[in-house]
Amino acid sequence: MRLQPDEEDEPGISLAPLIDVVFLLLIFFLVAGVLEKPVRQVPVAVPRMASAKPVETGSNVPKILAVDAGGNFHVDGHAVDRRQLLAVLDLLAPVQSGVRLRLDVDERAPVRSLAEVLEMLRERGIVNFGLRAKGGGT
């Protein structure tokens, strides 16, 4: 007696595991976006510069040093005095090659305050930093 083979199932790709992975990735990125630490910035009106280059996007968030219109210093949005700023720069100096540093200076800030910050950076050998300005010239 000859037996007829049963109807064979067509091999296929199951979509259930794929959908599970997509939902897990969606949840991961939603949670990661919510947990992202916001960068505090001091509201400064930066001067326009004709030679300003666009900021390169990188993976790490820059350390932000700001000088407001009153000549006060800020580090990552927190007001600091001269002594505290020196302490922060002393910590940054040895590891400066891996840290992005951005200097935000209000256009109405006293030039003396900017010169003071630049002198602090030079004394510690920190030469790799960006100065934030608006592009476009006049």
Query: What's the whole-model pTM score?
Result: 0.54
Among 5-14, 55-64, 69-78, 117-126, the range scoring the smallest mean pLDDT is 55-64
Question: Could you tell me the domains of the chain?
Answer: 48-135 (3.30.420.270)
Interval 113-118 mean pLDDT = 90
Q: Provide the 8-state DSSP code for 68.
A: -
Q: What angle do CA 134, 54, 64 make, to 5 degrees?
A: 70
Structure tokens given for 81: 């005095």
Distance CA 60, CA 63 (A): 9
What torsion, rounded to 10 degrees, do the Cα atoms 85, 49, 107, 97 define? Answer: -10
